[in-house]
């Protein structure tokens, strides 16, 4: 038989080489760790140090059972006298089971916690739990699919361009579950089995909390993994971007035109390949001869400049040899040290190495920050590998299979640490991926190189809501999609207008895309440079549409005081900026069924138009509130579905209980 014991409020069980440990980790929460043939490891991949009193531990005299209780959550551990395994069940304060490990299947002898060794190395890990009939599941980060309820889905625990794996799960049964492991793996939520796996790891490590509402659960999770800083004021307005403004005068002239037209704009973006070589971390002098003058002129117009940084180091970069020799680069397990081939052979820098992070920051400080640039676009943050053969790469912290998913979090941390060391208290950087904890480093995540299609548009609604559930409240998309948009095409113009309307009610409103046809770019000597896409400013999509887009830019400005309160809530409580319907109205059963409308903070309900040619839209208005249509001022009692007009210049938006009266008839 195994042996239970307690040490300083921790419940520990030993048997046959396995050590299992449960302890309080924040209010109503437990951290669960297990190792095979070793000691429990104190990893801090994402979880912050625990606060609060120790858990209450009780062990039966015959060692057959033990319990550990922390506020609203209680774990019951029961030993099987035949198999010598220890089975875990989790209860809430109402004595209801919220989650339990899968059974051994009697004669099947299935292990709920299985450490399968790699010969000569660590373990493949599997953790199995019993599914519950009718349970709804949410979260897991950003995946490109049209599901909000992810029960029945399987997920690759890995990052890719437009995929951000954040392994936090919110259940309709009243618990939150965080897989505290950055290893490559898989999560499956099937009718017959819920299973988490890691391809290579040293220990099992997860965190679980119980709560009465989704808001309480997300608040506990963000308390355990961190919350964002307060968003700076320039993050709340309109951002202009395209692939790509390829020289200084072109970028400045676009900014000047926005000002000549009297349009509100907070940020303009200098995209990739403004550098001589990948990894040089500086402006190309031929195209950007006076960066300080550029930044100064923009600031005089009240516009911040955001500059793209890629983590790839080109083999022709001035920094490559020094970084290679100092061990600041990712390694391949065999063959050439090439991890991507865009603009030449390159290798990603190793963000898990603190000295490498400091080195890159110092280069960016010297060549960007000193000019007054205070926002960075941390692109390629997955990282985007030419071949997603994760077993082929190695970091300072370990193999990619064991730690690869931590890359975007440490990438954001490197710039956050550098900027705060310079005295900047409100850090905001755009990052193309995230893992748990990224939010505390000022990461604004966007959904990657998605296509300019209605299908992709619909997917982003779900993706943004899932990210908010996973503790990433700063999130955005390329308005209009990144790839495939033709500004002169009427069909694309309709999509862009609908996307732009929705972007007005996103955490950050940012227009970006690689528009067609492309524009070739050459150096003065005639040699080719990286090209540029077509124009992507609000006035290039037709005169009628320009008036619509302008209306929503000014509406965003009108909402700035409200948006500021939402950012304060995100900073103080970890509250999502865009929220699922059930987050605000968990007692309304219909709100758990509505996946294509959402809450923008507590007081606005937004129902984007998601089909081409549509001029009406059905909207469900939650019970327990009165709702005012901001388009026509008409009021409705909650608890009903209504069909409202949605011509091309209107997105259906409703204000709750007489709030935000200044917005009525502004849509």
Query: Which pLDDT belongs to residue 306?
Result: 98
Asked whether the predicted pLDDT for residue 107 surpasses 90, the reply is no
- Nearest Cα to 652, choosing from 612, 606, 597? 606
> CB-based burial of residue 231 (10 Å sphere; 0-12 exposed, 13-18 middle, 19+ buried)?
buried
Structure-block tokens of residue 470: 């996973």
Q: Give the architecture-level CATH label for domain 233-310+353-382+404-573.
A: Alpha-Beta Barrel (3.20)
216 is catalytic: no
Domain boundaries, the chain: 3-224, 233-310+353-382+404-573, 603-663
Average pLDDT, the chain: 97
**Do the domains spanning 3-224 and 603-663 agree at the CATH topology level?**
yes
382 is catalytic: yes
Q: State the pLDDT confidence band at 601, using cuts at 50, 70 and 90.
A: very high
pLDDT digits (tens, 9 = 90+) for 529-538: 999 999 999 9
The answer to whether 474 touches 426, Cβ cutoff 8 Å, is no
Q: Which residues of 481-496 are buried (b: 16+ CB within 10 A; e: fewer)?
A: bbbbbebeeeebbbbb
The answer to whether 367 touches 297, Cβ cutoff 8 Å, is no
Query: Which pLDDT belongs to residue 1?
Result: 53
Asked whether the predicted pLDDT for residue 121 surpasses 90, the reply is no
Quick one: average pLDDT of 583-608? 98
pLDDT digits (tens, 9 = 90+) for 285-334: 999 999 999 999 999 999 999 999 999 999 999 999 999 999 999 999 98
Quick one: average pLDDT of 97-109? 92
Kindly name the residue from 212, 449, 489, 569 that is annotated as catalytic.
449
Structure-block tokens of residue 545: 């549409």
Evaluate the omega torsion of the peptide bond into residue 244 and state whether it is cis, within 30 degrees of 0: yes
pLDDT digits (tens, 9 = 90+) for 400-453: 999 999 999 999 999 999 999 999 999 999 999 999 999 999 999 999 999 999
Least confident span in 114-128, 267-281, 575-589: 114-128
Q: State the pLDDT confidence band at 109, using cuts at 50, 70 and 90.
A: confident
Kindly name the residue from 85, 379, 478, 603 that is annotated as catalytic.
379
514 is catalytic: no
Q: Structure pTM?
A: 0.97
pLDDT digits (tens, 9 = 90+) for 355-388: 999 999 999 999 999 999 999 999 999 999 998 9
The answer to whether 53 touches 230, Cβ cutoff 8 Å, is no
Asked whether the predicted pLDDT for residue 22 surpasses 90, the reply is yes
Residue carrying the six token digits 């320039």: 234
Query: Which pLDDT belongs to residue 343?
Result: 86
Report the share of the chain in percent with pLDDT over 90.
95
Q: State the pLDDT confidence band at 169, using cuts at 50, 70 and 90.
A: very high
Least confident span in 314-323, 338-347, 419-428, 480-489: 338-347
The answer to whether 361 touches 379, Cβ cutoff 8 Å, is no
> CB-based burial of residue 264 (10 Å sphere; 0-12 exposed, 13-18 middle, 19+ buried)?
middle
DSSP three-state, residue 56: strand
pLDDT digits (tens, 9 = 90+) for 48-98: 999 899 999 999 999 999 999 999 999 999 998 877 789 999 999 999 999
pLDDT digits (tens, 9 = 90+) for 349-359: 999 999 999 99
Residue carrying the six token digits 């992507």: 536
The answer to whether 112 touches 85, Cβ cutoff 8 Å, is yes
Q: Give the architecture-level CATH label for domain 3-224.
A: Sandwich (2.60)
pLDDT digits (tens, 9 = 90+) for 494-544: 999 999 999 999 999 999 999 999 999 999 999 999 999 999 999 999 999
Kindly name the residue from 382, 384, 456, 588 that is annotated as catalytic.
382
CA distance 476 to 463: 10
- Pick among 2.40.50.140, 2.40.30.200, 2.60.40.1180, 1.20.120.1200: CATH of 603-663: 2.60.40.1180
């Amino acid at each position: 038989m195994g042996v239970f014991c307690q040490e300083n409020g921790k419940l520990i069980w030993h048997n046959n080489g396995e050590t299992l440990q449960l302890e309080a980790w924040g209010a109503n929460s437990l951290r669960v760790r297990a190792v095979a043939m070793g000691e429990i490891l104190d990893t801090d991949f994402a979880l912050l140090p625990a606060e609060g009193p120790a858990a209450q531990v009780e062990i039966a005299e015959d060692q057959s059972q033990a319990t550990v209780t922390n506020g609203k959550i209680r774990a019951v551990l029961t030993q099987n006298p035949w198999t010598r395994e220890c089975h875990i069940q989790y209860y809430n304060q109402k004595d209801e089971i919220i989650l339990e490990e899968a059974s051994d299947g009697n004669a099947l002898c299935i292990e709920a916690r299985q450490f399968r060794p790699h010969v000569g190395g660590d373990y493949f890990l599997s953790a199995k739990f019993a599914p519950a009939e009718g349970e709804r599941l949410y979260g897991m980060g950003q995946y490109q699919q049209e599901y909000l309820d992810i029960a029945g889905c399987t997920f690759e625990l890995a990052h890719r361009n437009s995929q951000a794996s954040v392994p936090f799960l919110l259940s309709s049964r009243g618990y939150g579950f965080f897989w505290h492991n950055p290893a490559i793996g898989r999560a499956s939520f099937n009718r017959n089995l819920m299973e988490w796996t890691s391809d290579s790891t040293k220990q099992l490590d997860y965190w679980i909390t119980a709560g009465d509402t989704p808001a309480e659960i997300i608040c506990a999770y963000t308390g355990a993994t961190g919350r964002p800083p307060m968003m700076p004021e320039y993050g709340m307005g309109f951002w202009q971007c395209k692939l790509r403004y390829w020289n200084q005068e072109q970028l400045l002239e676009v900014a000047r035109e926005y000002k000549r037209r009297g349009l509100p704009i907070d940020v303009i973006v200098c995209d990739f390949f403004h550098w001589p070589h990948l990894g040089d971390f500086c402006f190309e002098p031929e195209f950007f001869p006076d960066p300080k003058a550029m930044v100064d002129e923009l600031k005089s117009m009240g516009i911040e400049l955001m500059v793209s940084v890629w983590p790839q180091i080109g083999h022709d970069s001035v920094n490559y040899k020094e970084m290679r020799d100092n061990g600041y680069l990712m390694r391949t397990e065999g063959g050439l040290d090439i991890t991507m081939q865009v603009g030449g052979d390159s290798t990603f820098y190793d963000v898990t190495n603190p000295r490498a992070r400091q080195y890159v920051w110092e280069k960016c400080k010297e060549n960007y920050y000193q000019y007054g640039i205070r926002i960075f676009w941390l692109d390629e943050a997955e990282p985007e590998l030419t071949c997603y053969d994760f077993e082929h790469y190695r970091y300072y912290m370990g193999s990619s299979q064991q730690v690869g998913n931590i890359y975007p979090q440490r990438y954001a941390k490197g710039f956050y640490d550098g900027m705060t060391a310079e005295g900047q208290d409100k850090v905001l950087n755009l990052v193309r991926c995230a893992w748990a904890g990224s939010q505390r480093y000022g990461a604004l995540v966007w959904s990657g190189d998605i296509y300019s299609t209605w299908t992709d548009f619909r997917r982003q609604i779900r993706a943004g809501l899932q990210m908010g559930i996973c503790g990433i409240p700063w999130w955005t998309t390329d308005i209009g999609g990144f790839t495939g948009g033709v500004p002169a095409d009427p069909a694309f113009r309709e999509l862009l207008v609908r996307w732009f309307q929705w972007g007005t009610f996103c955490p950050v409103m940012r227009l970006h895309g690689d528009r067609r046809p492309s524009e070739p770019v050459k150096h003065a000597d005639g040699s080719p440079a990286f090209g540029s896409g077509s124009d992507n400013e609000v006035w290039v999509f037709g005169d009628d549409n320009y008036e619509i887009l302008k209306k929503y830019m000014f509406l965003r400005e009108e909402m700035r005081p409200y948006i500021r309160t939402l950012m304060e809530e995100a900073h103080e409580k970890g509250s999502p900026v865009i929220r699922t319907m059930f987050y605000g109205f968990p007692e309304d059963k219909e709100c758990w069924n509505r996946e294509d409308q959402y809450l923008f903070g507590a007081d606005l309900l937004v129902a984007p138009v998601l089909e081409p040619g549509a001029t009406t839209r059905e909207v469900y208005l939650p019970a327990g509130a009165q709702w005012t249509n901001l388009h026509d001022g008409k009021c409705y009692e909650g608890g009903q579905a209504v069909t409202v007009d949605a011509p091309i210049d209107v997105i259906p938006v409703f204000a709750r209980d007489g709030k935000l009266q200044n917005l009525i008839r502004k849509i």
